[in-house]
Structure 1
């Protein structure tokens, strides 16, 4: 079950802070390096860059999303949830954040709350990955159905 849920988390890599997309990282080379390593699965190399990017700019949505993805990739779901909750306190209308938080909730097994946050993605019309968020929602629902069918 945990493996299937982590596949959902892996699906996030294409829908938020991504080194191949135009993100608002400006001249934040550390974030760009961390994202590049994260996309390549080089988690040990990604972490110090992502941590430095967040330390340098704690209110960077991209840095928070990227570090949250790193936490999910390393199976540290509690840290991802905590980081996303903190970020929601000052960034309450981000489709990317809603999507990532919902995926983390799904991985943690909090299906009902995850589905509520997937629904909130639609509140951000500027978020360019609504279709990916819907696919993540569907994967979460499929996991709920799968788990319900288990004895």
Structure 2
């Protein structure tokens, strides 16, 4: 399960920021620092920056996606699910959120619901990372097959 989580997290990481608004253009230094540490696998250093970025701007899609990725990277699946659910309440058509939430659901073992959220990514016409979504869906389906084969 750990290996699958790492594969999903690696596939998901590219979705951690809103592709339409590059983080480098933003003024949130904390978010940029947190993302940089997250990319380097320095999870303990990433967390305070990501948390501060989210506290400063609770409706920042980028901060929510990044902190959700941090939760997944640390196996805190329930916190990731909760964060994504809350973000979806105010950003109900975000392809990035649908994708990340679906990945978290898959990691949690709720594959049926995960597959429905992968399908919802198409509701966001601006979301262009469909190949990544397809790869994440394939990983989820592979996990279903793997778990079904276990005695």
- TM-score, normalised to structure 1's length? 0.93
Provide the rounded CA distance (Å) in 1 between the counterparts of 2:126 and 2:25.
17
Provide the rounded CA distance (Å) in 2 between the counterparts of 1:51 and 1:4.
26
- TM-score, normalised to structure 2's length? 0.93
**Does the CA-based 8 Å contact 2:96-2:127 persist in structure 1?**
yes
1:17 corresponds in structure 2 to 17
1:99 corresponds in structure 2 to 99
The list of structure 1 runs, each at least 4 consecutive aligned residues, that deviate by more than 3 angstroms after superposition, is none
> 1:2 Cα shift?
3.8
Alignment of 1:8 onto 2:8? yes
> 1:27 Cα shift?
0.3
Provide the rounded CA distance (Å) in 2 between the counterparts of 1:34 and 1:50.
5
Alignment of 1:30 onto 2:30? yes
Q: CA RMSD in A?
A: 1.8
1:129 corresponds in structure 2 to 129
> 1:24 Cα shift?
8.0
Aligned pair count reads 150
What are structure 1's unaligned runs of at least 5 residues? none
Provide the rounded CA distance (Å) in 1 between the counterparts of 2:98 and 2:59.
16
